Amino acid sequence: MLLAALAPLVVLVSSARGEARIPVRLDPVSGPVLSAPQLLPALEARASMGAGWAEVVVAGKSFRFYLDAALLAVDGEVYPLVGSAVVRRDTLLLPIQFVTEILPRTLAGRFRYDARLARLTDGAPAVVAARAPARDPNRLPNGLRKGHVVTIDAGHGGVDPGNPGLYFPDGLREKDVTLDLSLLLRDELRRRGVGVVMTRQTDTLIDLRQRGGYCTAECDLFVSIHVNSLPRRAGFSRIRGFETYFLAEAKTEDAARVARMENEAIRFEGSEDSAEPGGGLEFILKDLQLNEHLRESARAAELVQSYLQEAHTGPDLGVKQAGFMVLTTARRPAILIETGFSTNAEDAKLLTGHASQKNLAASIADAIVSYLLEYERKVGQGPVSATSITGTTRQ
Q: In what order do the strands lie in the sheet with 242-247?
A: 195-198, 149-154, 221-228, 334-341, 242-247, 316-322
Residue placing its CB nearer to Zn ion in the complex, 11 or 334: 334
Q: Which secondary-structure segment (H or E) carries 129?
A: helix 126-131
For residues 221 to 240, the per-residue mask of contacts with Zn ion, x marking binding by CB under 5 A and - elsewhere, is: -----x--------------
- Beta carbon of residue 224, minimum distance to Zn ion (angstroms, whole number): 8
Closest by CA to 206, choosing from 229, 182, 170, is 182
Closest by CA to 109, choosing from 73, 142, 72, 60, is 60
Residue placing its CB nearer to Zn ion in the complex, 41 or 155: 155
Region near Zn ion per CB under 5 A, out of 153-161, 179-187, 290-298, 342-350: 153-161
Region near Zn ion per CB under 5 A, out of 95-103, 148-156, 249-257, 286-294: 148-156
- Should residue 41 be labelled a site residue for Zn ion when binding is judged by CB under 5 A? no
Residue placing its CB nearer to Zn ion in the complex, 95 or 162: 162
User: 246 CB contacts (<8 Å, ≥6 apart)?
Assistant: 294, 297, 298, 300, 301, 319, 321, 327, 333, 334, 335, 336
d(CA 289, CA 312): 32
- Beta carbon of residue 172, minimum distance to Zn ion (angstroms, whole number): 14
Cβ atoms within 10 A of the Cβ of 348, count?
A: 24
φ, ψ of residue 216 in degrees (nearest 5): -90, -170
Among 31, 95, 157, 162, binds Zn ion (CB under 5 A): 162
Residue placing its CB nearer to Zn ion in the complex, 173 or 312: 173
- Beta carbon of residue 261, minimum distance to Zn ion (angstroms, whole number): 7
368-to-1, 189, 220, 294 alpha-carbon distances in Å: 33, 8, 10, 16
- Beta carbon of residue 262, minimum distance to Zn ion (angstroms, whole number): 5
- Should residue 211 be labelled a site residue for Zn ion when binding is judged by CB under 5 A? no
Closest by CA to 337, choosing from 369, 366, 360, is 360
- Should residue 340 be labelled a site residue for Zn ion when binding is judged by CB under 5 A? no
Region near Zn ion per CB under 5 A, out of 100-108, 179-187, 219-227, 308-316: 219-227
76-to-51, 72, 73 alpha-carbon distances in Å: 18, 10, 6
Residue placing its CB nearer to Zn ion in the complex, 210 or 216: 210
- Beta carbon of residue 174, minimum distance to Zn ion (angstroms, whole number): 5
Residue placing its CB nearer to Zn ion in the complex, 139 or 226: 226
Contact 321, 249 (CB under 8 A): yes
Reading phi first (left if > 0) and then psi (alpha if -120 to 50, else beta), residue 187 is in alpha
354-to-96, 270, 351 alpha-carbon distances in Å: 28, 35, 8
Region near Zn ion per CB under 5 A, out of 6-14, 218-226, 229-237, 327-335: 218-226
> Which residue of the chain is nearest Zn ion when measured via CB?
226
- Beta carbon of residue 352, minimum distance to Zn ion (angstroms, whole number): 15
Among 23, 31, 41, 155, binds Zn ion (CB under 5 A): 155
| Touching Zn ion, residues 261-280 (CB under 5 A) | 262
Region near Zn ion per CB under 5 A, out of 79-87, 181-189, 229-237, 256-264: 256-264
Residue 150 burial (C-beta neighbours within 10 Å; 0-12, 13-18, 19+): buried
308-to-70, 180, 196 alpha-carbon distances in Å: 25, 17, 20
Residue placing its CB nearer to Zn ion in the complex, 157 or 333: 157
Region near Zn ion per CB under 5 A, out of 53-61, 120-128, 159-167, 306-314: 159-167
- Beta carbon of residue 24, minimum distance to Zn ion (angstroms, whole number): 32
- Beta carbon of residue 165, minimum distance to Zn ion (angstroms, whole number): 11
Q: What angle do CA 50, 47, 26 make, to 5 degrees?
A: 95
Region near Zn ion per CB under 5 A, out of 1-9, 156-164, 313-321, 341-349: 156-164
Residue 209 burial (C-beta neighbours within 10 Å; 0-12, 13-18, 19+): buried
Question: Would you tell me which residues interact with Zn ion (CB under 5 A)?
Answer: 155, 162, 226, 262
